[in-house]
Chain A
Amino acid sequence: MATLDISPAAAGEAQRLRERFGFLREVVDEMERSVPYASALVRFSHGQSIDLRDGEQSASRQDPQSGVVLTASNGHALEESASDAIDAESVLRTARELVDRVRHHHEDGPEPELAIQADGPGDADFATAVGIDPGTVPLTERIARYEALRQRLRAIEDRAVQAMAIHREGSQISIFANRSGMTTQQIRRVVLILQLFVSDGQQRQFDVVIKAGTGGLELLDVTDAELAECAATAASLLTAGAVPPGTHDIIADPLTTGTIAHEAFGHGVETDMFVKERARAADYVGQRVGSELVNILDDPTVPTAYGSYFVDDEGQLASGTSIIRDGVFQRGITDLYSATRLGIPRSANGRRESVQRKAYARMSNTFFAAGHSTLDELVAGLDDGLLVCRALNGMEDPKGWGIQISSNFAREIKHGRLTGTVYSPIALTGYVPDLLADVSGISDTIEWSSGSCGKGWKEIVPVGSGGPYLRTRCRLG
């Protein structure tokens, strides 16, 4: 068994998890006497959140979401049972009921054979490396720290009507077992969101500073310069005009770049979409889909990135996937079912919102690789364009290869310089291959952002996205 470079405290916790949930292997063994493939995943969480704002404060314990999901294949499809009862006796009872259900409903339908390979990392323990463990900093001290930051942000701008500080920290513990072995992983995530609302008496506008990642409180440091920029940006939006609708040369900031990667060649290459014939990318494996400057990756092993993990929820050991290399589409990201159905190698992207939900092919940390330009060089290269900033959300269209991204604002560029004119809000739309083909410059450093990703409008999982500044062309409205 491997206990990979984890702290003594995490190793001790891993040992306790093994002792408590070692029975999962026996449950899987028993199930596999009746079905061709079985696995078990136990997951639970703990942590705290605080929400501080003008006039009110709140504190919460994280929902433990504890439970087990048992998976069984009947050779053609999967059946699963999920329960919040995770003691050995209850799990065994749930397993036996599931096997009975599978046998009862095993009938010939349109489903082709599903020959699952029981890959997995064997026996191993993993844990996020944590610098400052939130558990070692009393809640009273964290409240004082983030309330002080909130007050500093609010004090910068006279027109502030509300300032919020939201802090979350938590650990997600999971234990996966199949016939290849049992893994444990302890993932620690931290978040700090500072949001300032300003008003001129008529309008309300806002800007936000978000710090998040896998690790400890060391990831949540905020500088005075970041607070000042947040306040100045929010205030500037009170006089922002509507962007002239039409096609523009743009430079996407790292948050917008990351959202482009996520929506365009993240969701669009989730291979469950291939099985459902929903992804146009399925017809473009090995073909050019963007300028040769474009490299997009999905990698759950990026240190401190918000979407990082060690093993996916179906027991696949995490590793990076090159999705687009030098403008050529390489491969998609998989869950167990779609990889098996398509007969392609798995990537570690089978993820669940909770044990109450099915695993799908999902992103981890999806990003454009850095290029060789500086931001100043990218700006200098535009005669008439816009620097699009602070993506708020986006939506995929894997079949039509459309893209929708909402960004909070854009800064005008004329003759290679920022003019100070700001437009808000920004709706960025386009045809993905055109947008990627028009990429004409990429900056040399990557910034990460954190987010919650849905599959369509549900199945929320934590993800990271990121990238450099990216110069391209798209439609704004």
Chain B
Amino acid sequence: MDQRVVDAVRRHPGIHDWTIRFQHGRGAQVYLAGTALENVRQVGRDAYEVELFNDHQVDGERMRGSAVVPLGREDLDRLPAILDEGVAMASLVHNPPWTLPERTEYPEVGLADRRLVDVADAVREARQTAEQIRELVAAAGAGVRLSAAELFLTAVDEELLNSRGLQASATSTRVLSELNLLADGEQEAEFFRQDEARRLEDLRLPDMVRDAAQHARDATRARQPRTRLGPVVLSDIAADQFLAPSVLGANSTYLSQTSGGAAYARLSRFEIGEPVFLGRAHTGDPFTLRSNARRPYSVLSYRFDPDGLPAQDVLLIDDGVLRARTASQRYAQYLDLPATGQPGMAEIAPGPTSMADLLRGEPSVYQVVAFSAPNADPVTGNFGMEIRLGYEIGPDGTRPIKGGSVSGNLFEAMADARFSAETAVFAWFAGPRAIRFELMQVAGEDA
């Protein structure tokens, strides 16, 4: 961290408290278009974010204003003017006061793949992994070929200081991959997936390519589902999308609803000590949800949150009843709750039933393995998602389906959810690999 920033913030008039976050980021990106290398990129960026607080009075009442001031390298030569602007902004917004976290101890949380910390290593790993993807797809069998792949390997050194003496640092890495495979068949089809992990090995590329190849083949002969109200099992990518934030959202639906921020904004529909099914009777498996920011190598884990609170593992929902909320320092003080830090990885307890049993039913069960996009609204819980690939499983066998939609209300639907005993780790939650809903609306071919 450039000491000029710390000194300037400490000295600046009108700043009554402050937090400085610094990130030194670098990484490699590689892109395949078909099997051809389209682009290899090396990137780097230092970024500062100063959150400054100005205490003032409004109508005789003590208020705290805050302003977030991101800084680029170019800004370091004109800090006083930029901080003047920040103080002016903070003095114009009025909030009930809250205090910043004090110095504390931080847990060790596995966040980094050592192979990706040095950018030259990351570029080499990116090229090698692209080559591995080409080889895996070439070996995936006849009729399947590579359409496109992208790989982003990023490392970030992060430091955080505040005016209360808090100091923290961490190094983390992040791997993002996109893979799109094409399959020949009745009608040529594709299967696209995006995956994120902390470590390269956690992508499990051979499994990823094998599954995507099978899904692409199945998509070539997929038909529309029928319109009906009946059992639907969400598994694999679809299970993750069901609980993920809608496109461009920040927190998964449940972690958003159970947060102190949502409660303070009166946008939470849950109350502590009450069931979380919006009045529906709970007939499904016990629903237990944790927010675990200490889970090793989860992309949602951290050592400290943006306020400087240490990572925690918090039980939020126990057997369908809200027991606690995640809360930043600010909302914890506003609502008189323990400060837990921002949400971590959502962990859902698995159920007692095998996936094979969840997929049984008369006359048939629809299993959805991928939606087009997640879109459950974090406040209302409403959703309506297009089926990108699924299967109708009945006594006569299994046939792939695609098109049409599954719709309803997420929070109500969870009242009768049954969870598989088999588990998986997804981008937005870790827990059962499949979730079954008895009465889910599917819109497809008209009956």
**Residues of A participating in the B interface, judged by any CB pair closer than 8 Å:** 44, 48, 50, 53-67, 76-86, 98, 101, 105, 109-112, 139-140, 143, 161-162, 197, 199, 202-206, 242, 245-247, 272, 275-278, 337-338, 341, 356-358, 392-395, 397, 399-400, 402-404, 406, 424-427, 429, 431, 452, 454, 456-458, 460, 475-477
B92 within 8 Å of A (CB atoms):
yes
**17 CB < 8 A contacts A-B:** A50-B93, A59-B68, A65-B72, A77-B40, A80-B39, A80-B40, A101-B42, A111-B37, A245-B227, A276-B34, A337-B33, A358-B41, A393-B247, A400-B190, A404-B375, A404-B386, A406-B375
Residue of A nearest to B375 (CB): A406
Chain A nearest Cβ from B320, distance in angstroms: 17
B36 touching A457, Cβ below 8 Å: no
Stretch of B7-15, B158-166, B259-267, B303-311 that contacts chain A: B259-267
Q: Which of A110, A139, A406 has the most CB of B within 10 A?
A: A406
> Given A58-B68, A245-B441, A276-B34, is A424 in contact with B382 using a C-beta cutoff of 8 Å?
yes
Partner of B95, one of A57, A140, A338: A57
**CA separation between A56 and B65, bound complex, in Å?**
9
Contacts A406-B384, A425-B377: A476 and B443 contacting too (C-beta < 8 A)?
Answer: yes
Residues of A within 8 A of B403 (CB): 400, 402, 429, 431
Beyond contacts A57-B94, A80-B41, A247-B446: 11 other A-B pairs, Cβ-Cβ < 8 A, are A64-B70, A76-B36, A78-B38, A81-B41, A105-B40, A109-B36, A199-B266, A242-B441, A246-B227, A397-B386, A454-B248
- Whether the pair A427, B44 counts as a contact (CB closer than 8 A) is no
Residue from A202, A427, A475 having most chain B Cβ neighbours under 10 A: A427
Contact A400 B95 (CB under 8 A): no
Please count the residue pairs between chain A and chain B whose beta carbons lie under 8 angstroms apart in the complex: 264
Query: Which residue of the partner chain, among A65, A82, A140, A397, contacts B92 with CB atoms under 8 Å?
Result: A140
- Cβ-neighbour of B75 out of A64, A82, A276, A424 (below 8 A): A64
- Asked whether B39 lies within 8 Å of A341 as measured between CB atoms, the reply is no
Cα A62 to Cα B70 with chains together (Å): 7
Task: Give the shortest distance, in Å, between B152 (CB) and chain A (any CB).
Answer: 9
Per CB-CB distance, the 10 closest pairs between chain A and chain B, nearest first, are A427-B384, A477-B443, A404-B386, A395-B373, A245-B443, A57-B93, A59-B89, A64-B72, A63-B70, A425-B382
CB under 8 Å from chain A, chain B span 365-395: 371-373, 375, 377, 379-380, 382-386, 388
B92 touches A139 (CB 8 A): yes
Query: Contacting B190 at CB < 8 Å: which of A53, A78, A80, A278?
Result: A278
Report whether A341 and B33 are in contact in the complex, using a CB–CB cutoff of 8 Å: yes
Q: Which residues of B contact A477 (CB under 8 A)?
A: 227, 384, 404-407, 441-443
Indicate whether B86 reaches chain A with its CB closer than 8 angstroms.
Answer: yes
CB atoms of B407 and A427 under 8 A apart: yes
Contact at A48–B407, with CB atoms within 8 Å?
no
Interface check B397, CB cutoff 8 A? no
Check A54–B266 contact: CB distance below 8 A: yes
Q: How far is the CB of B240 from chain A (nearest CB, A)?
A: 12
Query: Cβ of A425 and Cβ of B384 under 8 Å apart?
Result: yes
B38 touches A77 (CB 8 A): yes
Contacting pair A78 B279 (CB below 8 A): no
CB-defined interface of B36-77 with A at 8 Å, one 1/0 digit per residue? 111111111111000000000000000001111111111100
Asked whether, in the complex, the Cβ of B33 is within 8 Å of the Cβ of A276, the reply is yes
Residues of B near A101 (CB, < 8 A) are 42, 123
User: What is the distance, in angstroms, from B444's C-beta to the closest C-beta of chain A?
Assistant: 7
Tell me the bound Cα distance from A197 to B192 in angstroms.
35
Tell me if A395 and B36 are in contact (CB < 8 A). Answer: no
B residues near A78, Cβ cutoff 8 Å: 38-40
Q: Is B214 an interface residue (CB 8 A)?
A: no
The reply to whether the CB of B246 lies closer than 8 angstroms to some CB of chain A is yes
Contact A402 B93 (CB under 8 A): no
- Shortest distance from the beta carbon of A374 to any chain B beta carbon, whole Å: 30
Q: Cβ of A60 and Cβ of B67 under 8 Å apart?
A: yes
Within the complex, the shortest CB–CB distance from A15 to chain B, in Å, comes to 19
Chain B residue contacts of A206, Cβ below 8 A: 379-380
B132 within 8 A of A: no
Q: Shortest distance in angstroms between A173's beta carbon and chain B's nearest beta carbon?
A: 11
Report the bound CA distance from A80 to B31 in whole Å.
11
Task: Indicate if the CB atoms of A84 and B147 lie closer than 8 Å.
Answer: no
- How distant is B143 from chain A, measured CB to nearest CB, in Å? 14
B425 interface contact, C-beta 8 A? no
Q: How far is the CA of A431 from the CA of B402 in the complex (A)?
A: 11
Least distance between B100 CB and chain A CB atoms (Å): 16
B1 on interface, CB distance cutoff 8 Å: no
Indicate if the CB atoms of B278 and A202 lie closer than 8 Å. yes
Confirm or deny: B82 has a beta carbon within 8 angstroms of a beta carbon on chain A: yes
Interface residue B194 (Cβ < 8 Å from any Cβ of A): yes
A65 cross-chain contacts in B, Cβ below 8 A: 72
**Given A48-B89, A83-B45, are A358 and B31 also a contact pair (CB < 8 Å)?**
yes
Q: Which residues of A contact B200 (CB under 8 A)?
A: none
Q: What residue of chain B has the Cβ atom nearest to residue A49's Cβ?
A: B68
Please report the C-alpha to C-alpha distance between residue A403 and residue B75 in the assembled complex, in whole angstroms.
44
Contact between B182 and A277, CB atoms less than 8 A apart: yes
- Chain A residue at smallest Cβ distance from B41: A80
A425/B407 in contact, CB under 8 A = yes
Q: Is B443 in contact with A454, judged by CB distance below 8 angstroms?
A: no
Q: Which residues of chain A come closer than 8 Å to B246, judged between CB atoms?
A: 392-393, 406
A419 to chain B, nearest CB (A): 22
User: Do the beta carbons of B73 and A84 come within 8 Å of each other?
Assistant: yes
User: Is residue B103 contacting chain A, with contact meaning CB distance below 8 A?
Assistant: no
Answer whether residue B5 sits at the interface, using C-beta atoms and an 8 A cutoff: no
Closest to A274 in B: B33
Q: B190 — which chain A residues lie within 8 A by C-beta?
A: 278, 399-400
Task: Write out the residue numbers on chain B whose beta carbons fall within 8 Å of the beta carbon of A394.
Answer: 373
Chain B residue nearest in CB terms to A476: B443
Tell yes or no: B90 within 8 A of A by CB: yes
**Is the C-beta of B333 less than 8 angstroms from some C-beta in chain A?**
no
A162 to B189: give the CA distance in the assembly, Å. 45
Question: Which B residues touch A111, using CB under 8 A?
Answer: 36-37
> Chain B contacts of A431 at CB under 8 A?
403
Q: Is the CB of A400 within 8 A of B189?
A: yes
- Is the CB of B292 closer than 8 A to any CB of chain A? no
B83-105 contacts to A (CB < 8 Å): 85-86, 88-90, 92-96
Query: Please, how many angstroms separate the alpha-carbon atoms of A7 and B71 in the complex?
Result: 28
Is B298 positioned at the interface, with any CB of A under 8 Å from its CB? no
Q: Which of A62, A80, A110, A426 is within 8 Å of B35, CB to CB?
A: A110
Which residues of chain A are within 8 angstroms of B446 by Cβ–Cβ distance?
A: 246-247
Find out whether the CB atom of A86 lies under 8 angstroms from the CB atom of B406.
no
Minimum CB distance partner of A425 in chain B:
B382
Q: How far is the CA of A400 from the CA of B389 in the complex (A)?
A: 11
Question: What CA separation (Å) do A202 and B409 show in the bound complex?
Answer: 13
Question: What residues on B are CB-neighbors of A454 within 8 Å?
Answer: 247-248
A204 touches B72 (CB 8 A): no
